[in-house]
Amino acid sequence: MPFAPVLHAEWIKIRTLRSLLGALAGTFLATTAFSAAEAAAGDHTDPLYSVFFGVSLGQIAAIAFGVTAVSAEFRGGALRLTLSAVPDRRRWFAAKATAIALPSLAVGLLTGLVTLLVGKALLGTSGPTWTEGLRGTVGCGLQLTLMALFAAGLAAVLRSGVATLSVLIPFVLIVSFVVGDLSGGVADFLPDRAGQVALHSTWDGSLGPWSGLAVTGLWAAAALLAGGWSLHRTDA
C-alpha cells in the first residue's frame, strides 16, 4: 500500500479517538494556563520564559498524546489487524509518526502564538520583544512535537502505554529536576530540557536555542528508530 493512504488511515484513527483529541486540547490548555499564571505572578527576570513557562507542563500532555497514539495499537489485537492491511511495518510506523507529528506541530504552534499574545498582554512593556517571542513560539511548537514523537518511539519499544507513561511522567516532573540540581550541565542535554533553551531570553549553558532543539530532535529520532526496530523484530 502506498504511503499516502496509510497516512490517511492513521489520521482517521487520531481524529476519531477522543483520548487523543483530549490530549491535544490538554497540551494547549495546560501550556497557556500555566504560562498566563506565571506571567501574571512571576518575577520576570527572564521575560521570555515567564511567557512560555507552561511548556514545561504542557509537554506532559504532548507525551500522553504520543504514547496513546501508539499504545492503542497494542490493545485487543489492533496491530495485527493494521499489519494485515499494511504488511510493511516500517512504512506503517513512518505514517504513524507523521500522523502524530503534524497535529502536534499545528497545536504546538497555535499554543505558542496564543501563549505569546497572552503573555505580552499581561507583561506589557516588560515582556519579551517580538523577535524573542517569535523564536519562543516556534520553539514551543517544535518542543511539544518532538516530545510527542520521543514518547511515541518509546511506547513502540515498551509496547505499553502504562509502562511508558510510568517512565516518562516521573522523569519529566522529578528526575530531570533532581539531575539538573546535581549534575552541572549534564541535564541540559536531557530531551525535556534541551529544547526549552529556545524559551529563554538568555542561557548560561553550553546549548543555544536551535542546538538545544536539535538535541531534543536527536532524542526523538533515536526513540523512533528504536521503536521501528522493535516493531520489525518482534511479533505483533
Q: Could you report the per-residue pLDDT of 195-225, keeping only the tens digit for each?
A: 999 999 888 778 899 999 999 999 999 999 9
**Domain-embedded: residue 78:** yes
**Domain-embedded: residue 108:** yes
**Residue 100's domain spans which residues?**
3-229
For the chain, give percent helix, strand, coil, nearest 5.
85, 0, 15
pLDDT of residue 180: 58
**Domain-embedded: residue 234:** no
**Domain-embedded: residue 138:** yes
**Domain-embedded: residue 24:** yes
Task: Round to whole Å and give the CA distance between 147 and 131.
Answer: 24
Q: Is the dihedral of CA 121, 127, 129, 134 positive or negative?
A: negative
Question: What is the rounded average pLDDT for all residues in the chain?
Answer: 90
Q: Is the dihedral of CA 67, 166, 138, 187 positive or negative?
A: negative
Average pLDDT over residues 57-63: 96
Tell me the pLDDT band of 168, cut-offs 50, 70 and 90. very high
Task: Round to whole Å and give the CA distance between 32 and 10.
Answer: 28
**Domain-embedded: residue 175:** yes
Is it the case that residue 78 has pLDDT exceeding 70? yes
pLDDT of residue 131: 94
For the whole prediction, is pTM greater than 0.85?
yes
pLDDT of residue 195: 93
**Domain-embedded: residue 235:** no
Tell me the pLDDT band of 122, cut-offs 50, 70 and 90. very high
**Domain-embedded: residue 31:** yes
Number of domains in the chain: 1
φ and ψ at residue 81, rounded to 5 degrees: -65, -40
pLDDT of residue 161: 92
pLDDT of residue 182: 55
